[in-house]
Amino acid sequence: MPIGIFDSGVGGLTVLEEIHSLLPHEHLIYFGDQANVPYGNKKEDLIKDLSFKIVEFLLEKKCTFLVIACNTMTIAILDQLKDISPVPIIGVVDNGIELSVKSTKTNHIGILATPYSINSKILEQKILQANANIHLTPIAAPLLAEKIEKGWNKNDTPYLKECLASFPSTVDTILLACTHYPLITQEILSLNPRVRLINPAHATALEVASLLKAPNSSPKKGSIEIFTSGSVDQFTNILQRYFSFSYKIHYHHL
């Protein structure tokens, strides 16, 4: 039975890629809500409403395990979905927190995230619960996910530089608290090569494998089916630019 993975757009593909690499025999169904991206600038009620609709769609597709491949949605609705979902469901936030705390040597972590995630204070609270001695610099980047979604180009570099300039020199670890951001890892490192970037995608894939008790190998060949509420052509352009896995893609109105 398929694993359902969802995000506001293309960012969650970074999580899908890791799950597919670790569990190549699984059938993966992905939904990217490009028609409503970005979620990080929206009100919580709307984020929840859209998330419920996506979950309903994936359950109609007979998914037996769900992954919220979006920090904003994880913060907004994971706990509520856990209470009502008929299938297991996880998010990406906790894995990023754990990796960040383990990574820092200066005890100063930068958080790069959407306005909703920063304003919720959840990321800061979780990091300080793990280690109260850590100093945090949270930075909201309201345009970053949208620029990546549209297709990153060199004209976007000044905005990225502006975001990164807000981190003091004592920050040695930056939590990429939006699944879109790992798509521009090289661009970030070219501007700030001394930091370690935390991408929770692989750890999330390991959590999926552990919870499913999935075998390391299987004669069965998996597949990837992608649905977008936006432009199939635009979504395909991102897929071809950043990813090499095979897939089928469809439009679905949310």
Residues identified as active-site? 70, 178
Q: Contact 2/57 with Cβ under 8 angstroms? A: no
C-beta separation of 64 from 3 below 8 A: yes
Orientation of helix 13-22 relative to helix 232-242, angle to 10°: 50
What strands, in cross-sheet order, belong to the sheet with 27-32? 89-90, 65-68, 3-7, 27-32, 223-228, 248-251
For residue 2, what is the DSSP state?
P
Q: Rounded to the nearest 5°, which phi and psi values hold at 167?
A: -85, 125
Whether the CA torsion 161, 193, 73, 55 is positive or negative: it is positive
Residues 112 and 199: beta-carbon distance below 8 Å: no
Q: Where are the beta strands (DSSP E) in the chain?
A: 3-7, 27-32, 65-68, 89-90, 108-113, 135-140, 173-177, 196-198, 223-228, 248-251
Give residues with Cβ within 8 angstroms of 236, minimum separation 6.
249
- In angstroms, the CA 201 to CA 95 distance is 8
- Give the number of other Cβ atoms within 10 Å of residue 252's Cβ: 15
